[in-house]
Amino acid sequence: MALILEQMPIVISSLNVGFLQTLKLFFVTLIGAAPLGLVIAFGSMSSFKPLSWLCKLIVWIIRGTPLMIQLLIIYYFPGLVFGTPVWGTGESGRFFAASVSFIFNYSCYFSEIYRGGIQSVPIGQEEAGLVLGMTKRQIFFKIKLLQMIKRIVPPMSNEIITLVKDTSLARIIALQEIIWAGQAFMKGSQGISGAIWPMFFTAIYYLIFSGILTVLLSRLESKLNYFR
Amino acid sequence: MSILELRHLRKSFGKTEVLKDINLTMEKGQVLTLIGSSGSGKTTLLRCLNFLETPDSGEIIVNGENLLTGNVSEKELRRKRLHFGLVFQSFNLFPQYTALQNVMLAKQLMAKEQPDYASNKKAINEAIEYQAHELLKKMGLADRENNYPHQLSGGQCQRVAIARALALEPDILCFDEPTSALDPELTGEVLKVIKGLAETDTTMIIVTHEMSFAHDVSDIVVFMDNGYIVEQGTPSEVMDNPKEERTRKFLSHY
């Protein structure tokens, strides 16, 4: 026990550094994938068939293969095949590649949620807007968007909570996120080795962060409960 | 000049011809009801007038202007469709807006396109709000204007929808089975409102299955069957003394 207390500051500061990387990957993915998902959603609903097929093909491939494979391919492919590691070197290069992989992957999942949300708004809403002389743009932004958001908040919450934990997959390309940082103390780092307790601390970081997100998202959900 | 004239209007969905050579004329201030069994083409006709469907051929002439002139820009289409208003069977109110906001929304968006909007913003919005208040008052909903649609009964929703359509001052207001989603008690309150509009000379086209209401309120009754207009005339001509066997058979169900 005394030993744990003694090692605590070293472990915590190391986990903090790892967690910062986790947070960065989380927010970059969210900010990138949320709009890109909308683009893919509109693409797959397009009446221009080749575009719609292309979008559906991409979604099928990305959702049908493990994110871990996508990470490995995206990170190593340019370097191994063309001899040019486009992502740059070191931790920033790994973060760049991980961000691209995550944004791609998550935008495909988001796009399907958006598509479901858009298509679940009754056609009568659009028709009512049309006969009132509104433009397609006004109908989307003033009428359909909020109804769509209301419908997608629960499934999006699910994806967002999953994303928190999925960020740990980036350690497969040696991104130094929080699990990587915690595991280092099992292998041996900064004079500490064979310690399992940092792993429990790592879990607590996840729990607290996903707990905060859950509260925020359910608050958003109840805020949108003023209409049906 | 007639407010509305339809000439040889035709519409098919795939191989099914839904409207076959529709011809009719109505004058300003008249009420025209479309009766007939489901699938006879009544709703499609209304949807063509509101440009929710595009007729295959024919003319829709409003105040002397033929509106069916091939491909037009979205802006032009919006202008044309504003000759008509449409009240839906299922109301289609915007759930995230209050009754008042539902009535104001389209007009507010339109006002923003006016060149003098920036300089007259306050006065324009006040005028829109005043008009919406007045319309809801006329519909007997003065105390309900801050309620959301889910807080209103079906009859109240439909009256908000009528106010919303009236706000744009269409030349002709169309109703697509406005009471079919309502129970008999709520049906009464909506029909009363429509009768009130008829008395103030609102030009209306009403698709309905309420025969005694149609008899009461109409200047012209049009009986449709299988995409054709079988018979049209005054209520006493078409409903009391129908010439066609098909009309008699339909009316015998009521």
The domain spans of chain B are: 1-83+170-254, 93-168
Q: In angstroms, what separates the C-alpha of A219 from chain B's closest C-alpha? A: 18
The answer to which of A11-15, A44-48, A110-114 has the lowest mean pLDDT is: A11-15
Contact A142 B51 (CB under 8 A): no
Separation of alpha carbons B6 and B4, rounded Å: 7
Q: Which CATH number fits domain B1-83+170-254: 3.40.50.1860, 2.60.120.310, 3.40.640.10, 3.40.50.300?
A: 3.40.50.300
Distance to chain B for A210, nearest Cα, Å? 29
Distance CA B210, CA B216 (A): 10
> SS3 sequence, chain A?
CHHHHHHHHHHHHHHHHHHHHHHHHHHHHHHHHHHHHHHHHHHHCCCCHHHHHHHHHHHHHHHHCCHHHHHHHHHHHHHHHHCCCCCCCHHHHHHHHHHHHHHHHHHHHHHHHHHHHHHCCCHHHHHHHHHCCCCHHHHHHHHHHHHHHHHHHHHHHHHHHHHHHHHHHHHHHCCCCHHHHHHHHHHCECCECCCCHHHHHHHHHHHHHHHHHHHHHHHHHHHHHHCC
pLDDT band of A81, cuts 50, 70, 90: confident
**DSSP code for B182:** S
B94 and A143 within 8 Å at the Cβ level: the answer is yes
CA terminus-to-terminus distance, chain B = 36
- Best residue in A127, A130, A132 for a mutation probing chain B (most B CBs within 10 Å): A132
Per-residue model confidence as pLDDT tens digits over B67-83: 988 778 888 888 889 99
User: Which residue does chain A place closest to B86, by CA atoms?
Assistant: A131
What is the spatial distance between Cα B173 and Cα B171, in angstroms, rounded to a whole number?
7
Query: Are the beta carbons of A134 and B92 separated by less than 8 Å?
Result: no
- The ipTM, to two decimals, is 0.93
Going by pLDDT thresholds of 50, 70 and 90, the confidence category of residue B242 is very high
Mean pLDDT of B105-124: 90
Alpha carbon distance A102, A170 (integer Å): 9
Closest residue of chain A to B90, computed from CA coordinates: A124
pLDDT of res. A195: 80
pLDDT above 90: residue A8 = no
Interface test with A, best of B96, B104, B112, B177 (most A CBs within 10 A): B96
Q: What is the arithmetic mean of pLDDT over B199-214?
A: 94
- Please give the order of strands across the beta sheet that includes B65-66: B16-26, B4-13, B57-62, B65-66
How do the domains of chain A map onto residue ranges? 2-226
Closest CA to B128 of B171, B172, B168: B168
Which among A130, A136, A146 has the least Cβ separation from residue B52? Answer: A130
Distance from CA of A139 to the nearest CA of B (A): 10
Domain A2-226 bears CATH identifier 3.30.465.10: no
The answer to whether A128 contacts B168, with C-beta atoms less than 8 Å apart, is no
Nearest CA in chain A to B80: A133
Report d(CA A188, CA A12) in Å as an integer: 15
How far is A157 from chain B, CA to nearest CA, in Å? 21
Nearest chain A Cα to B74, which residue? A135
